[in-house]
Structure 1
Amino acid sequence: MAVSNNILPWQEQHWGSLYGYIKLGRIPQAVLITGASGLGKEALANRFAYSLLCTNVRDGGSCCGVCASCLLINADTHPDLIKIKPDEDKKTISINQIRQVVSGTYLKPQFEAYRVIIINPADVMTIQAINGFLKCLEEPTERTLFILITDKPNKLPATIISRCQKLTVTMPEKTVLSDWLNGQGIHNNQGTVLNLVRGSLLTVQQAADDTLLKQRTDCFNDWLTIAKQRNHPAIISEKWQKLPEKELVNWLISWVSDVIKCACRIDAEQLCNQDMVKPLQELAQRLNLRRLFGLYDLLLTCRRQLETQANFQIMLEEILVQWQQLNGRI
């Protein structure tokens, strides 16, 4: 891992809060960083950790990058920086992972600064792991800081949340966001790109990729051909087989959601797909709203099952068949 002092423009206030702990010499035993996915929570946690471990911190909390601690961080070998995440073939953080860390906290940090333990994402700890971690929070040890990162704080028990200093990373204001997007080289279709990433700003480069945007447009046109009974769900399902599953399902969800909004006469400016307003409005004029909600529920179920062993091709065909049936014949 490379030591970095970079901070995103919407994180200045958050960094001010974290650096305030360092300036005052009042480091909490645990910090909980929450907010939507893709807002740079992990980068913020890393900067806090690096500044705590650096032996030659600069004004503003920037780490020097050249001291012994910074060099160890760069080499991913700093003994007082521990990162806990699910094992490569797992989706949860186990009790054994927590036990290994907890047992180590009873010893003093190897350097004169702090020991920093980052748990990301904290919401995937098993019940046993949560209980083991809670015991550690109840009996804090010397110069040890836990940083918990999560998009889903509601999945953490109140007993853990109440023992943490909380910091919530939020979406920036429109002017800050627009300036940042321009700096990323994204000047056109900013509204559409932002809607597609659903708040996950660090993925805008991928969403703004011309190839992906063209795939999205092509898929929408395919989707319309099924609605007009000009194509068969099985043919389109086969055609879409090589597309990125997550993006495809999110596109479908956004289209159905926008048709529902149009049917409910919600202002067009509130639609996710600003470049597809007219065909979405035309669909809304003739589709049954209750059945649209049924399709929407099916899509949400499909998205939840993406990380399971469920057969995506079968799910996709079911979605497209239901979409064809919902439209009937024009």
Structure 2
Amino acid sequence: MTQQASTMPILPWHAPLWRHVAAGIRDDRVAHGVLIAGTPGVGKRRFARQVVAALLCRSRADDGRACGACAGCRQFAAGTHPDISRLTPEDKGKTIKVAQVRQFSHALHLTPQYETGRVGWIDPADALSISAANSLLKTLEEPPAGCHIVLISDRVSSLLPTIRSRCQLWTVPAADPATAREWLAEQGVDASQEDDDRLRSPLAVIAHQGDEVDQLLAQWDKDLLRLLARRANPVSVAERAYEAERRLWVDWLYRRCNDLMRASLVGQEDDTAQTNLARAAQRLGPRRLEAWSRRVAEVARMVDSNADWRLVVESVFIELSQQVADATQP
């Protein structure tokens, strides 16, 4: 379960449903069994993560969202929260088995470590075999006190009627095309060629374009490693970067800057690419990387300015190149 989405903004087309759900959480009107459904690409898993985060949070915000700062939120973000139990297929595309349901149900009956109670996560609920679904019924009918079980489904009709009837149904709506187009533009996704039907599932649009984004990020990573090894010209590297969507590039730049700083302090990883990054970071050292990180922060603040973006991008790579050169001086 990817936790970072728990503290992300509520998606625009989720807002009406979130207000309803947040009120239920605040007034303790959430059923023990919750079924979160919606067509692929509408963001139901992101919505479900935000629901689970709010249920486990010890100091929720005024809008009902998780605070992101309490001990429970920090553990949730790190994927180490002790009061979450997950039920997923052992192999992708396979069914969830009876034995898995029994282990899941047993875990839900363990004493929670926090007063917020335990949460069960079943994804996708559509993968429950008939026998596994029947095995789950007893837990849904007689759940432990303070426990919530969140089921996620692409096709509610595929679930046993007995499962559906024991859950509070929250259907995540499709996006309005105009809203989706505006939101996608904010994410740096060009949706000008997408028709209205496709735009009703904005996250599917992003997934469709994901391969192209992955290739772009891989090229930037390759350029960065070559620059750190003094095998690339910073102006040439900038040439391949400045035409990209600004926020996407700045997000990548921030993450790589953090990776370098972390590697300079912690050391190498097993992955070859990360090992190369760690070696370069250790050669530079925290002091030089801290100076460069300040420049990265300045660049991020200029993303919506009228500055010459080509020169801005060049400057960040030229400065890094200079830091690398200084670090190699005897």
Give the TM-score of the pair, scaled to structure 1.
0.58
Query: Do the aligned partners of 1:32 and 1:161 also contact (CA within 8 Å) in 2?
Result: yes
Distance of aligned partners of 1:187 and 1:211 in 2 relative to their CA distance in 1, 3 Å threshold: closer
1:191 maps to which residue? Answer: 194
Cα deviation code 1:298-329 (max 9, x no counterpart): xxxxxxxxxxxxxxxxxxxxxxxxxxxxxxxx
Matched, 1:86 2:98: no
Distance of aligned partners of 1:82 and 1:210 in 2 relative to their CA distance in 1, 3 Å threshold: closer
1:9 maps to which residue? Answer: 12
Cα deviation code 1:71-116 (max 9, x no counterpart): 2112211111222211235611111211111112333322100211
Query: Do the aligned partners of 2:36 and 2:172 also contact (CA within 8 Å) in 1?
Result: yes
Query: Do the aligned partners of 1:5 and 1:63 also contact (CA within 8 Å) in 2?
Result: no
1:99 maps to which residue? Answer: 102
- After superposition, where does 1:37-116 map in structure 2 within 5 Å? 37-88=40-91, 91-116=94-119
Distance in 2 of aligned mates of 1:65 and 1:211:
32
TM-superposed CA distance for 1:152, in Å, is 0.9
Distance of aligned partners of 1:181 and 1:142 in 2 relative to their CA distance in 1, 3 Å threshold: same
- After superposition, where does 1:236-315 map in structure 2 within 5 Å? none
Cα deviation code 1:251-292 (max 9, x no counterpart): xxxxxxxxxxxxxxxxxxxxxxxxxxxxxxxxxxxxxxxxxx
Letter in 1 for 2:37: T
TM-superposed CA distance for 1:28, in Å, is 0.8
TM-superposed CA distance for 1:154, in Å, is 0.8
Of the three residues 18, 21, 37, the one matched with 2:21 is 18
Aligned identity (percent) is 37
- After superposition, where does 1:126-141 map in structure 2 within 5 Å? 126-141=129-144
Matched, 1:156 2:137: no
Query: Do the aligned partners of 1:21 and 1:27 also contact (CA within 8 Å) in 2?
Result: yes
Distance in 2 of aligned mates of 1:108 and 1:86:
25
Distance of aligned partners of 1:94 and 1:198 in 2 relative to their CA distance in 1, 3 Å threshold: farther
Letter in 2 for 1:52: L
Distance in 1 of aligned mates of 2:29 and 2:63:
16
Query: Do the aligned partners of 2:24 and 2:30 also contact (CA within 8 Å) in 1?
Result: yes
1:34 maps to which residue? Answer: 37
Count of residue pairs the alignment pairs up: 210
Distance in 1 of aligned mates of 2:21 and 2:89:
26
Distance in 2 of aligned mates of 1:209 and 1:131:
38
Of the three residues 140, 143, 148, the one matched with 1:145 is 148
- After superposition, where does 1:176-255 map in structure 2 within 5 Å? 176-187=179-190, 189-192=192-195, 195=197, 197=198, 199-208=200-209
Query: Do the aligned partners of 1:108 and 1:142 also contact (CA within 8 Å) in 2?
Result: no
Letter in 1 for 2:23: G
Q: Which runs of 4+ in 1 moved over 4 A?
A: 208-212
Cα deviation code 1:6-35 (max 9, x no counterpart): 221100011112111111122211111111
Superposition CA RMSD, Å: 2.3
Cα deviation code 1:167-220 (max 9, x no counterpart): 11121223322322332334553434x55x5854213134357969xxxxxxxx
Distance of aligned partners of 1:154 and 1:187 in 2 relative to their CA distance in 1, 3 Å threshold: same
Query: Do the aligned partners of 1:109 and 1:143 also contact (CA within 8 Å) in 2?
Result: no
Distance of aligned partners of 1:132 and 1:210 in 2 relative to their CA distance in 1, 3 Å threshold: closer
1:267 maps to which residue? Answer: none
Distance in 1 of aligned mates of 2:108 and 2:63:
29
Query: Do the aligned partners of 1:181 and 1:190 also contact (CA within 8 Å) in 2?
Result: no
Distance of aligned partners of 1:74 and 1:39 in 2 relative to their CA distance in 1, 3 Å threshold: same
TM-superposed CA distance for 1:62, in Å, is 2.2
TM-superposed CA distance for 1:53, in Å, is 0.8
Distance of aligned partners of 1:124 and 1:59 in 2 relative to their CA distance in 1, 3 Å threshold: same
Q: Give the unaligned 5+ runs of structure 2.
A: 214-330
TM-superposed CA distance for 1:56, in Å, is 1.5
Q: Secondary structure at the match of 2:23?
A: helix
